[in-house]
Amino acid sequence: MSNGKNGRKAAISSDAAPGAVGPYSQAVRVGDLVFCSGQIPLDPASGALVEGDITLHVRRVLDNLAAVLRAAGLGMNDVVRATIYLVDLADFAEVNRVYAEYFTPPYPARSTVQAAALPKGARIEIDVIAWAGGGLRPPS
């Protein structure tokens, strides 16, 4: 199997994050990019949605993403792009507050969209793209 560094795609997975529930990988590496599939607030041990308010849901989603990134040898500060899907945009401020605890400047580029529904009745889903190429290049 390819490690993804030579341009071929390689699947990445972690037992510390919920397993894929369909025909997809938790993440795929191609070259210096790692594309993480969307995570919803599932407890990795039970596979059930976590209970509680939106802040607990956001933490679980970001912890799941962090586990998948660790399996790729990366961390949250390697994330260059994120997409947040929310069922209720009224949760936006609380999501931002928790999200800011997981990232440091320069923050990833990001989009937030409202979704009519998410898998398993989740209120939030986040997917990310991370760069596995090392430190940032100095400006030219």
List the chain residues with pLDDT less than 70.
Answer: 1-7, 134-140
Number of H helices, E strands in the chain: 2, 6
Query: Which domains are seen in the chain, by residue range?
Result: 10-131 (3.30.1330.40)
pTM to 2 decimal places: 0.91
Do 34 and 12 contact (CB within 8 A), yes or no? Answer: yes
pLDDT for 138: 39
CA distances from 43 to 9, 18, 26, 49, 86 (A): 27, 7, 15, 6, 19
Q: Give the number of other CB atoms < 10 A from CB of residue 79.
A: 24
> Whole-angstrom Cα distance, residue 65 to residue 7?
23
Residue type, 91: D
pLDDT digits (tens, 9 = 90+) for 100-117: 999 999 999 999 999 999
The per-residue pLDDT for 20 is: 86
